[in-house]
Structure 1
């Protein structure tokens, strides 16, 4: 069956708000949704096929999938290809002679007991990706003929061109973006159908959400005016993370911030949220998603259910968004 992946950027200018946690666990959460939940939404591949793209030089998504030791061995000793290398190839050549499949790590998320999620693949990052923005900025293709946005339009299309070679093989592509709006993030937004904003409900973490939305709207307008057939990258919603509960409800201090956010963003705030607790950190220490400990650790069980609720809300709402 021919697939056409729904591509999703997970973004926030702030660090430590749960971008990687959300990206990673959405991919895993899709593997745990039931057929009854997915079939009415026309997801006939059970479970959905997912590609994770680590676009952050901090490489936290790679470490979540592979562990730090395996990841460092892979890039420094095995010299495995990464997103950094792909961007370089596509930057220097309009049609580079490379196969994107050679850079994708198949079935790399462990589910526990030496088993893996066979439907989740990873396009890894590299710490040197931090220099890629500078390389994109200073690079200029010789004899480049396109004039839209000057001669630099291709600098925003690199990731889109990379993903278009494999998009038909997946149902979802999740991009874990860096905490900035440099070229790599703008590439991710150009390539995406929609985006998610994770945040913690405190004053400093939630500050700037409006700025993100306005900037994405500005980019949509710029790309739309430059590229015939470009479709806007739409906001799916804002996902709250690290919610401390009392009586199965957010504690008063966080509830106050949540109410302010809901008054500002209305329906954009997800009804479901990820609770605070040691379930995810404990699972992460073993190199697993939170589901691996759900049967043996009470907080992992609760956070696993939170992930499933957020994932189902995401697929339900994103299914009804119009991307054309």
Structure 2
């Protein structure tokens, strides 16, 4: 089954999720759904004003409601914010299923609940409407994160060039392999593959960054994105302004460089996912 979902984890996940989703829609005309599965709701508040989110939460629902209802009868079509950036920028084709801080309570209740297919089953209602469905997950390996993995064909790992972040890639891989390994109760499932590792917050003049980047490329040959993202305060400013760098119509200075980087990253994302889909079909 072509699940079309792509999980982002580790460092810089929210900025990468938002910027790639925006670039896919704006620069490549790809219909993209971003699902915010983090109780911090960082992706949600990146692109939605708090008052608008409150009204949406009360009238339409969020990922909290999806899991609280175990997906049964949840109107996912209504809960999706269509063209979420349209009031701020000429970006169409980027939709959002928002999150809520209440999601942390659901996560605790799901601990002893075998419900890995909640998200996967709910997405069957909208899967054919999108070229890509991207899940922005919390960095911990909780039941909601596991749900995203069960619904995904691949996971993508943004990481900064330091020891703890790059060490976490291997830990994540082992956790995923364990999740889909055979047990006494079920056979091994076909889990998501590593879709790529994105090196972010790169400082070109820091030798240690260059060394860690080369180490990651050596440890995971063929899995590291060729295009990287530079370290810049402009990324944080974009979140404060609730306008992705990839959505700015007339960028200037360093904004141009960053926008070009995210555009190139989204283009490489398309190529990598196309390759994965081709392998799954063969």
TM over 0.5: yes
Question: What is the total number of aligned residue pairs between the two structures?
Answer: 277
In 2, are the aligned partners of 1:8 and 1:193 still within 8 Å (CA)?
yes
Q: Secondary structure of the residue that 1:258 maps to in structure 2?
A: helix
Rounded to whole Å, the distance in 2 between the matches of 1:222 and 1:127 is: 34
Compute the TM-score of the two structures, normalised by the length of structure 1. Answer: 0.79
Rounded to whole Å, the distance in 2 between the matches of 1:25 and 1:265 is: 24
User: How much does 1:190 deviate?
Assistant: 0.4
In 2, are the aligned partners of 1:278 and 1:300 still within 8 Å (CA)?
no
Q: Secondary structure of the residue that 1:117 maps to in structure 2?
A: coil
Unaligned runs of 5+ in 1: 35-46, 140-151
What do you get for the CA RMSD once the two structures are aligned?
2.2
Show the counterpart of 2:165: 205
Q: Alignment partner for residue 187 of structure 1, among 142, 147, 163?
A: 147
Q: Alignment partner for residue 199 of structure 2, among 234, 237, 240?
A: 240
Instruction: Show structure 1 runs of 4+ deviating over 4 A.
Output: none
Q: Alignment partner for residue 16 of structure 2, among 14, 22, 26?
A: 22
User: How much does 1:227 deviate?
Assistant: 6.7
Compute the TM-score of the two structures, normalised by the length of structure 2. Answer: 0.90
Within a 5 Å distance, the mapping from 1:5-154 to structure 2 comes to: 6-12=4-10, 17-34=11-28, 47-72=29-54, 74-75=56-57, 78=58, 80-90=60-70, 96-110=72-86, 114-139=88-113, 152=114
Show the counterpart of 2:224: 269
In 1, are the aligned partners of 2:19 and 2:246 still within 8 Å (CA)?
no
Rounded to whole Å, the distance in 2 between the matches of 1:48 and 1:185 is: 25
How far does the alpha carbon of each residue in 1:230-265 deviate from its partner, in whole angstroms, 9 at most, with x for none? 53301111101101124xxxx312001112212211
Q: Secondary structure of the residue that 2:133 maps to in structure 1?
A: strand
Larger radius of gyration: 1
Rounded to whole Å, the distance in 1 between the matches of 2:78 and 2:54 is: 18
Unaligned runs of 5+ in 2: none
User: How much does 1:69 deviate?
Assistant: 4.5
How far does the alpha carbon of each residue in 1:90-113 deviate from its partner, in whole angstroms, 9 at most, with x for none? 26xxxx334221211111124x7x
1:294/1:279 CA distance change after superposition, 3 Å: farther
1:98/1:256 CA distance change after superposition, 3 Å: closer
Rounded to whole Å, the distance in 2 between the matches of 1:227 and 1:68 is: 44
In 2, are the aligned partners of 1:65 and 1:108 still within 8 Å (CA)?
yes
